[in-house]
Chains A and B, each alone.
Chain A
Amino acid sequence: MISIENISKSFVLHNQGGVEIPVMRGASLTVAPGECIALTGASGAGKSTLMRMIYGNYLTASGRIMIGDLDVACAAPREIIALRRNTLGYVSQFLRVVPRVSTLDVVSEPLLTTGTPCTQALETAQELLARLNISERLWSLSPTTFSGGEQQRVNIARGFAYPYPALLLDEPTASLDPKNRAIVLAMITEAKACGAAIIGIFHDAAARDEVCDRQLDVGQFTPGTMV
C-alpha cells in the first residue's frame, strides 16, 4: 500500500545565511495492507520528517513515495488533497482546529467530506468519543479548551472516524492514561484487521511491541553529523 524508494530531503534556511541542512538520504520502506511499521531512532533522526514527507506536508527532493498508485513526491496539490480525503489519514501530536467548532463536528468532518450522510457521521463520531471516554457533556464544546489528553483523544477519534486504507500515527498514545492507551491500541489493531497500512511513531516501547509488526530505524537515513 505504501512504498517508499530512495527519498531524500534537505532544508535550506535562506534567512540564516542560506545554510543547507540535509535531513534524509536514501530512505526506503514498504508497508503492506494490514501491516503496522514503527519508525524508531533518536530525537532529531527524522521520524516526523519522514512522516510529513509521506503526508505531502514536506516536499521531497528526490525518490518516490507511492501510496496506492499516486506518487506523493511529485503529485499536484489537488491529487494530494484527494489522497488525504479518501486514502491517507494522519493523526498528529497536536490538534489544530477552527475555534468555536464543536467536538462532534471536528470528529465527524472527515466523514462529511467523504459524503457520509450527516446523521450517520454524527452517530459514528458519538460512538468514537464515547469509546475514547470523552464525557458527553464536552461533545458540544470546542476542543480548544480541553486538557492535553482529551485533545489527543479527540484527534484520534477524528483520525479513525473514516476507515483510511493508509494511516500515519505520530505518538498516538503519548499523553494517555493506561485505560485510554489500551483503547487506542485496540483501535489500531482493529484498523490493521480491516486492512489499513499503518506507519507509526511510538516512544512507548510496550505499545510499539503490541501493535507493530516491524521496526525501522530512521537513524540509518540521517546524513552524517549535522554541523
Chain B
Amino acid sequence: MTPLLQVENVAKFYGARIGCTDVSFNLYPGEVMGIVGESGSGKSTLLNCLAGHLVPDRGAVRFDTRAEGLRDTITMSEPERRMLGRTDWAFVHQHARDGLRMNVSAGGNVGERLMAVNARHYGKIRASAIDWLGRVEITEDRIDDRPTAFSGGMQQRLQIARNLVTGPRLVFMDEPTGGLDVSVQARLLDLLRGLVREMGLSAIIVTHDLAVVRLLADRLMVMKDGHVIEAGLTDQVLDDPQHAYTQLLVSSVLQV
C-alpha cells in the first residue's frame, strides 16, 4: 500500500538551535498518529513543516496526490501547495481564532472553504454548511452568528467543520483540545473519532495530553529536544515505554 504521507529525514533549524531533526515516518490512509513531548520539544515545528507552513532545511515530505501519486510538497510550487491546503489537507489550530474568520458568520466560515474549491451555488453551499454545523453539534439557528458570539468549545467545533467540509484526506491538528474544559474535550474527542472512522481520514495530532492520544491515535511518536526518541503503537509506547524520557513522561501523569 502507498503511504499517504512519506516523511524522510526532515530537519528544521532556528539558527544554530534545533527545531526538529532526523524525522522519518510513513503515514498510511486511515491512520491517526499522535506526536507528544514537552513544550519546546519540536512537535509544533515538525507539524508546521509537514503542513507546508514552514520550509524545512533538509529532507522530503511526500504526499500521495490524487492526480500524480507521491509528490514532494517542499519542492512543489506555491500554488500547488496552496491547492493541497484547500482540498486534501486541513489544519486545526489550537486557538480556534487562528483558524476562523472571526467577523464572518459561522455559515460563512464553512462556506468559504467550499467556495475556495469552486463551489458557487449559494443554496448548496448553505445546505452543506448546515449539514456540517449539525455534525459538529452546532444548531442551525446559530448559522448566521459570528464566532465571536460562540463559546471556546463551539469555536473549536466550528473550526473542525470548516476544515472538514471539503473532504480532506489528511488533517493536521495542533493541540485540538488544549484550553478546553474536560467535558467539552470529551465531546470533541468523541466527535473526532467518529469523523475519522466515517470519512477514513488520516490525521497527525500534536498534543501534550497522553490521555488524548491514547483515545485518538493509533500510533505515537515521542519527541524530545527536536529528536524523535521513541515511536510505535500508541498503547505499546504508553504501557511499555523503552526510553528513559518516555518512562518519565508516562509515570508523571496524575491518576484520576
Contact = CB atoms under 8 A, between A and B. Distances in A.
B186 A59 contact: no
B75 interface: no
Given A56-B236, A58-B240, A98-B190, A78 B251 contact: no
Of residues A13, A78, A101, which shows the largest number of chain B Cβ atoms within 10 Å of its Cβ?
A: A78
B215 A56 contact: no
Interface in A6-59: 11-15, 52, 56-59
Contacts of B68: none
Contact of A77 (B189, B219, B248): B219
B218 interface: yes
A15 B233 contact: no
B232 A77 contact: yes
Interface in B180-201: 183, 186-187, 189-190, 193, 197
A117 interface: no
Contact of B186 (A52, A98, A113): A98
B242 interface: yes
Of residues A13, A98, A112, A113, which shows the largest number of chain B Cβ atoms within 10 Å of its Cβ?
A: A98
Interface residues of A, number: 21
B244 A58 contact: no
Contacts of A56: 233, 236
Contacts of A12: 242
A57 B235 contact: yes
Interface of A: 11-15, 52, 56-59, 77-78, 80-81, 96, 98-101, 112-113
Closest 7 pairs between A and B when the two form their complex, measured CB to CB:
A14-B244, A99-B186, A58-B240, A77-B233, A100-B186, A77-B219, A81-B218
25 contacts: A13-B247, A14-B247, A15-B244, A15-B247, A15-B248, A56-B233, A56-B236, A57-B235, A57-B236, A57-B240, A58-B239, A77-B219, A77-B233, A77-B236, A78-B28, A78-B218, A78-B219, A81-B218, A81-B233, A98-B193, A99-B186, A99-B189, A99-B190, A100-B186, A113-B197
Given A15-B251, A59-B242, A112-B197, 15 more contacts: A11-B240, A14-B243, A14-B244, A15-B248, A57-B236, A58-B236, A77-B218, A77-B236, A81-B31, A81-B218, A98-B189, A98-B190, A99-B189, A100-B186, A101-B190
